[in-house]
Amino acid sequence: MPTVILEAPPALPWPTDRLVTGEELLNHPEWGNCELIRGKVVPVCRPNSQHGYLMLEVGAELRSFVKKRKLGTVIVGDAGVYLETDPDTVRGPDVYFISAKKMPINAIPPSFQKLPPELCVEIVSPRDKSAEGKEKIAQFLAMGVNLIWVIDPKKRTAQILRQNGTVSVVPTDGVLSGEDILPGFELALTDLFAALG
């Protein structure tokens, strides 16, 4: 039996002669995998399997902890968050937590998130450029994110950045902690990376 190859139609081009709003980006899924940086649409690469696995693992661990205690909502999958407005910047953290104090548990909007999450998680991809990653982290902190975990599967370490400007490195045998955002939450990096071989 012959093999049939189905090709997806190419993503439609986005406007390049003007700035685009977050609302327009939301309403044009045909533009493909992209983010909005100060009104300009920027394509982003799809993550690899390890990236997707780690995103799910971290999200599942956080969700289990958060749901049991009714603390808020955990969102995964690079779901868009407004980091700046006018012109709009919409980028997707790999995982984020937003408390029930800010957003009621059963009131997840069908739009990009406008409230700053308390915790954002970024997983370093082999294609990530250092300057772009630093800019994204700076934007998270500027919008009011309290705690950021940057997980590096290649080095098997993590970096913790806080709103107060302090930074810590978690070694391979260390533990990610929810600190004062999710007191009592812990995730051992050895457990997180165990499936990566």
Residue 89 is part of a domain; what is its CATH number? 3.90.1570.10
Tokens 């868009």 locate to 80
- Looking at the domain assignment, is residue 17 inside a domain? no
- Looking at the domain assignment, is residue 155 inside a domain? yes
- Looking at the domain assignment, is residue 112 inside a domain? yes
| pLDDT tens-place string over residues 72-91 | 999 998 899 999 999 999 99
- Looking at the domain assignment, is residue 130 inside a domain? yes
Distance (Å, whole) CA 139 – CA 126: 21
Strands 186-188 and 175-177: antiparallel
CB of 27 closer than 8 Å to CB of 8: no
Distance (Å, whole) CA 35 – CA 85: 14
| pLDDT tens-place string over residues 134-150 | 889 999 999 999 999 99
| pLDDT tens-place string over residues 19-73 | 999 999 999 999 988 999 999 999 988 888 999 999 999 999 999 999 999 999 9
- Looking at the domain assignment, is residue 31 inside a domain? no
Distance (Å, whole) CA 73 – CA 103: 8
Domains held by the chain: number: 1
